[in-house]
Structure formats: structure tokens, C-alpha cells
Amino acid sequence: MSKKDCTSRLVWYTLAVVVAMVGIGLVPEFELFGMRFAKIDIFSELRAADGDVVEYQADIERLEQELAALTTPDTLVVADSLPPTPPVRYEWIVSEAQQGESRVRSSEELRSIAERCSVAIEDFDTVDVTRFDRFVEKLAQGERVRIAFMGDSFVEGDILTSDLREELQSVFGGRGVGFVACDIPFATVRKTVKRTSSGWSAYSVMKPKSAPQDIADKFFVSGYLAKGGVGASTRWQTTDVFEHLDSSSRARVLLYSRDTSRLQLTLNDSIVNEIEVAGYDHMREIYVEAEEVDNIAVRVVEGEVLCYGVTIESGEGVTVDNFSVRSNNGHAIFGTGAAINREIDEILGYDLVVLQYGLNIMQKGQRGYSNYRKQLCDMIAYAERCFPRAAILVLGVSDRWVKNEESGRFEPIGSVDALTSYQRAAADSTNVSFWNTSRAMAEMGGMPKFVANGWAAKDYTHINFQGGRRIAQQLAYAIIEPVCALLERREAEAEEAKRRATIVMPEEPTSLHTFDLSVGGVAPYVEDYK
């Protein structure tokens, strides 16, 4: 066979592959043998990367105005002159879910875990009882705790957050994957949940110009929202890739419906209910409770809604919501609606907000990040106003190496320590908490060890699920360590109080002046007279 013939055949093979790939992208979502197959979009990465991506700037004045308008009515109204206020929560109680036992641990149970902590969380707040202290207190008491983990592509696909969720739920209780978006404008995969959707117009906070003007201010910190009319539907299915993902008992659909709409909900592919949602210019939730929530589906049957997503959880323990936004260095929080964030916080109640950013702004050899520090301080202020009861935890940037074009070898980017120091300084100046991610990675050998072990991609930048698991474990240990320390103090105080209670006081205390305080003399109960 001639060289020309081989080349020609190769061209035809290549063309056939391209046509086949494009053809696959044209196949709509379908169901076969009870299994749902989502539409495949091979060009999603390209579309997600180009176009009108916006670089937001902090607008604290707008933030304050939105929150003021939310909490202070413009005019005084008489209740009798108005129709009843539509409810914020619509409940569908299929069956009463069994309340799990409060997971209260002893210090002895936690000590072996806490000792694995290699890098502690630094709390820079100066008040007697900080918000992070209150977060630790709730964990120690076995109360419900909710964590919002805001990050970039570093945690996309539930990398790191899936293992953090599993580690904390294993210790403190809780079940479920937490928040999952209704629909997003590009393909992505989460092994912790299965989602199929159709009929929605999905928008990203990174490309707000693509969203209709009337909803451009309705983004939540999740970064995505979906607008749908009659026929729009999404189904969320739990998985068992982690021990605590299935056997959830609650689903909470977050939506916005300016005009009256009607939604059909299907639980576990068998139980159906329709709910009419009255028009209301505020966030709403549809709360579903059952002995088991294996899957939940929502379909619009009348009207039009904005659907943010669903949370799948239990009634106790820890819930971790992953709010990853691709290509976001944290600035996108300024493009979210302050009122939307506050209203969802009122619905869900966050105790800890984690800010994981910085990977996208590092430049080789760069040492100065004063502008980014200011932006991070503004991000922290924004998060504090939107989630006023939550502690804020800033994660330092992860380790990163870059390829030397001359030697062909990978070497440290040279800006990790510098950026980390600016992130820590921002946390310090705003009185929030900080955790040094790169130091935790260094304790495990740094990025070269991560790549060698198959824990990170060969770009020496992005971790995979294996690497995320190692970092998540260290972060979990860092959260558990102050809980253990608090319990140890409490237990020591209880023992001391018990010891003091066993001391028998004399019926008629002897005056101090009758004691022989000379050398060699012993004065019983002197301590009690101080």
C-alpha cells in the first residue's frame, strides 16, 4: 500500500471519528431499559471557556442597599388590607422520618483522630466567643451543622468536598450529598449524585450577560440558576459511592416563582404530588420528608420558575454543600444577589462558609498580591453580610509546580508561599479563620509526591479524587482537633467540680488566725479561704 493511500485512509478515518463525535452530541436525552442517558456535549469545555466571562468588582454599597431593602419595608402596611402572605416553605410529608440519634462524642473517641492533624486552623477573631467557637460548640454538642464550601474547579465534581463530607458525617452523623444544582450550562460529572434534566435555560454567574435582564440579580453563591416553563424537569438520584450518601430522609427544592406556578414532584419514582406555588418575590423551598429519599424529580406543569437546585440530607449531623464555580477566583460572589443569599441562608442556616480560591491567579515567580488581598477582604465582608451567623474559613492556595521549558522538568511555581501569606493576612485583618492548604500538602510530600502517587494530574496543578481525599482528611482532622480540645477541657472541668464536691467542710469553720502558719505547720482548707 502506498504512502498516499495510507494518508488518505487516515484522513477518512479522522473525518469519520469527528462526524461520529458530533453525531453523538446531537442525540437527545433518552431512557433505555430503565436507565436514563444524558445528552453528551463534547464542546462544552470550549463554550464554557469563551464568551462574555465577567470579572466582578466588589460593590459593598449595593450589597448594603439590597439587604436593607430586604429587611426594611418601604411603607407601613395594614395586615387586614392585604391577602395572606404566601408561605416561604411548602411541606410534603410523605411519612415521618426517624430522627437519628445525636452524635455526641467523647474526647477519648476523638483523640486518635485529632492527633492526625498536621496543620491546625488559625482563628484570628479577638472576641471571647468567636463564630468559629460557636461552630465547634455545635459539633461538640451533636447539633446539626451546615457547611457551604465555595471554590473553583479545584473542587468541581465534588473533588475534596465529597471526602470532607464523608469524614465529618462518619464522626458527627448526617447523611446525603447536600446541595446539587438544578441544571448548569455545560457538562460535568459528580459521582456523588446522578442528575438528569431537560427543558431548562441554564445560566452561570460567570457569564451574566447571557441571562435575561430580569433574573441577572438572582444568582445564588452556587453560581448557577435554571429558568424553566411548562415541561422543564430535573431528577436527582442518590448514589452509594460513599457510606453516608444514601438513606437520606429529606429533600429541599430551592426555587423562585414571581408568578403563580404549579410543580409536580415525584419521590422514589412512585409517589407523585402537585404543589401550587403562589407568586411571591422571594425565595421559597419545597420541603419533602420521608423514611427514605432515594431520588426526587421536579417538573413544571404550569407557569415559570427559577430553580436553583435541591439539597438531599438528613435531620441531624453534618451537611456539606459544594458551591464550585469553574474559572472563579472568588470575585463571582460579587455578582450574586445579596438578598437571594440572605434568604437562602434563612432557609438552610449555614454555620461555616469555606472560601477556597487563588489557584487561577497565581503567576510564576509573582510575589506581590496586595490587590488580591484587598479583593479577598471584600469577599469575606460580602460573605459575612450574606451569612451573618456563619464562621468564615479561608483556605490557603494549594501547592503548584510548573514546567521549566529549558530543562523540561517541573519546579515550584515560586508564588505559593507568597499568595498564602497574603491570604493569611486577609483572614487576620478581617478576624476570620485560616487553614494552610499548601503546608498540609507539603506534610504529605507536596505536589511531586501527589503526582507520583497518582493523586494529582501530570500538570502538577490539579488534584484528582485521590488527592482530594488526602487534603479533605487533613482538613477534617483540623476541624475535629478543636472539638476534641473543647471536650477535654469540659471533661477536666467536670472532674475538678466532682473532686471539689467530695471535699467535706467542717461544721464550724475555724478562723484563719487560729491556724499555726509557722514553718512546719499545716493549715487545712486554706484554699477555701482565699
Lowest mean pLDDT among 67-81, 144-158, 475-489: 67-81
CA distance 81 to 100: 44
Task: Note whether 511 and 524 are within 8 A (CB).
Answer: no
Helix (H) or strand (E) holding 209: none
Is a pLDDT exceeding 80 seen at residue 428? yes
> Which domains occur in the chain, in start order?
51-74+87-495 (3.40.50.1110)
The residue type of 107 is S
Residue-wise pLDDT for 378-409, tens only, equals: 999 999 999 999 999 999 999 999 999 889 99
**In terms of DSSP bridges, do strands 145-151 and 352-356 run parallel, antiparallel, or are they unpaired?**
parallel
Integer Cα distance of 441 and 184 in angstroms: 31
pTM (two decimals): 0.84
Q: Highest mean pLDDT: which of 15-24, 52-61, 371-380, 508-517?
A: 371-380
Cell numbers representing residue 20 in the block: 461520529
SS3 261: strand
Amino acid 339: pLDDT: 94
- Sign of the four-CA dihedral 140, 149, 313, 67: positive
Query: How far is 37 from 34, CA to CA, in rounded Å?
Result: 10
Return phi, psi of residue 234, to 5°. -145, 140
Distant-in-sequence contacts of 136-140, Cβ < 8 A, 24+ apart: 136/482, 136/483, 136/486, 137/486, 138/351, 139/172, 139/318, 139/479, 139/483, 140/104, 140/105, 140/483, 140/486, 140/487, 140/490
> How high is the mean pLDDT of the chain?
86
- Min mean pLDDT across 38-47, 96-105, 135-144 is at 38-47
In this predicted structure, the answer to whether residue 3 has a pLDDT above a threshold of 70 is no
Distance, in Å, from the CA atom of 279 to the CA atom of 303, rounded to the nearest integer, reads: 10
Cell match 477573631: residue? 125
Over the stretch 165-210, which tens digit does the pLDDT of each residue have? 999 999 999 999 999 999 998 877 899 999 999 999 999 999 988 9
